[in-house]
Amino acid sequence: MQWAVLVHGGAGEWQPKDEAAAVGGTTAAVRTAADILAKSGTALDAVVAAVVALEDDPLFNAGTGAALNRDGDVEMDASVMCGHDLRCGAVAGLRRVRNPVLVAWHVMERTPHVMLAGEGALRFARGEGFADYDPLTQRARDAWLRKRASAYGTVGAVALDRHGRLAAATSTGGVTLKLPGRIGDSPIPGAGNYAHAAAACSATGHGELMMRLVAAKDLCDRVAHGEHPQAAAEALLREMAASVGAEAGFILLSRAGGLGVAHRTASMPHAWWREGDPAPSARVRC
């Protein structure tokens, strides 16, 4: 089976001056994941590595450079999920770590739980060896001040490996100036991040919408029932627009290697690479 990887850098109002950098960041993340997949690595390893790359780039609203809440603090959410066995791990409201997605991965691998939140998540992270880290480095603060007027969203990745296994990973700093303690869709399996044997999905945008509709699982199930990922993502956004609102975007990957990318925001930087393609492809909007 041929591998494939698809990543997004967040749906929202990207400023024109940042679009090239956003495309560069998502492309770099895809290259990192593709290197793993090309060496017959797992889809899980690939999506985690891709999201780590995006978390480390202060341009994106995840990890370093994540959005501030109303108290001026950074509270981050992240999750990972394996499609072949439905294992998943997540953290919510996590502070002062560099890569929340790695802590979520540790929750999945090292505990019997699915999600840890707040102070408990931080204590777990420290116990697992994650050092104290301020996501608002000076470079990140400068990037945040430039982008605070824009709704730059969550980051995520989905991948298919040569063994036919799918995985998804998603990470976010959440809504800019959110109420302290607010948790979005990204750490919730089925809402903002999901994978099963047929498909994998990562969502971005207004998280409350995805939670109400269990959007990521809905999309994966549509693919399992025979819809192409692109058609499924576009259909869900139309349905959302007619009901709860559609300030959202999705990336979706099927076990057959089909890609789905759709959003109803001004832009959503994304990149992808499938085995056999000479190089990754990337766009700012669909």
Q: Which amino acid is at 101?
A: V
- Which residues have CB under 8 Å from 14's CB, separation 6+? 22, 150, 152, 266, 267, 269, 284
The runs of H, that is alpha helices, within the chain are 16-38, 43-55, 100-110, 118-127, 138-147, 207-213, 215-224, 229-241
Q: What is the DSSP letter of 179?
A: P
Cα 219 to its chain centre, rounded Å, is 15
In sequence order, the β-bridge partners of residue 261 are 251
Nearest-angstrom CA–CA distance, 97 and 112:
22
Is residue 45 classed exposed, middle or buried when 0-12, 13-18 and 19+ CB atoms within 10 A define those classes? middle
Among 178, 226, 237, which Cα is nearest to 204's?
Answer: 237
- 250 three-class SS: strand
φ, ψ for residue 174, nearest 5 deg: 85, -170
Catalytic residue among 64, 154, 172, 265: 154
Helix H, strand E, coil C: the string for 52-81 is HHHHCCCCCCCCCCCCCCCCCCCCEEEEEE
- Which residues have CB under 8 Å from 114's CB, separation 6+? 88, 89, 90, 107, 108, 189
Nearest-angstrom CA–CA distance, 81 and 151:
26
Catalytic status, residue 154: yes
Catalytic residues: 154
